[in-house]
Amino acid sequence: MDGTHRAPWAERVLVERLTRGDETALTDLYDRYAGFVYGLALRTVVDRQAAEDVTQEVFVSLWENPQRIDSGRGTFRGFLATLTHRRAVDAVRREEARRRRESRAAQGQPDVPDIADAAVRSDTSDRVRAALRELSEPQRQALELAYFRGYTYRQVADALDIPEGTAKSRLRLALERIAIHLRRENIESER
């Protein structure tokens, strides 16, 4: 053995499918690693909703930029752990910045906006809203309950009077379609 870490065969196949643009690869990777990513994120952000947001960001990032995965530098799981940690730390920093702004506002100090940050947030929000419009009504309802109201998939199932498995499927498909939309926009903007 040459001392390098080799990714397990099934892991390599999933990553190869993702880099080729196979839409089902993201779903398969999510099914396999979402719990791992969520657990790592939760340890850093210590907030369930924030950990869910980080998990979503990680998988959207994978879909948008699969070429960043370098299997020669270790396992995919290791890459995922590093990506998750970075996203979670970014989330903690954003939350801390939000608290500082609120504290300044409560003390009557003017808040100086970060123009670049506001522009990125606005662009991202516009892109996500456009992607939401492409979803079917059942997918959009499930996603809005889960991500904008903070419902768990069980609560989504109860609210929509559907089986839990159907709620999970709608959420997974909705996230997949949003990721596809965002990736397509990234490709178009690079041209």
pLDDT value at residue 36: 93
Residue 127 has pLDDT above 90, yes or no: no
pLDDT value at residue 156: 87
Query: Residues 6 or more apart from 119 whose CB is under 8 A from it?
Result: none
Q: Note the pTM of the prediction, 2 decimals.
A: 0.54
Note the pLDDT tens digit of each residue in 22-39.
Answer: 878 888 888 889 999 999
Note the pLDDT tens digit of each residue in 44-91.
Answer: 998 898 899 899 989 888 888 888 887 777 788 888 999 999 999 988
Q: Where in the chain is the domain with CATH 1.10.1740.10?
A: 1-112
Note the pLDDT tens digit of each residue in 75-86.
Answer: 888 889 999 999
Distance CA 118, CA 113 (A): 7
pLDDT value at residue 4: 43
**Cβ contact 70:12 at 8 Å:** no
Q: Where in the chain is the domain with CATH 1.10.10.10?
A: 116-191
pLDDT value at residue 3: 39
Residue 118 has pLDDT above 70, yes or no: no
pLDDT value at residue 122: 59
The domain 116-191 having CATH identifier 1.10.10.10: the answer here is yes
Which pLDDT band, with edges at 50, 70 and 90, does 113 fall under?
A: low
Distance CA 152, CA 161 (A): 14
CATH classification (class only), 1-112: mainly alpha
Note the pLDDT tens digit of each residue in 129-171.
Answer: 788 888 899 998 888 887 777 777 788 899 999 998 898 888 8
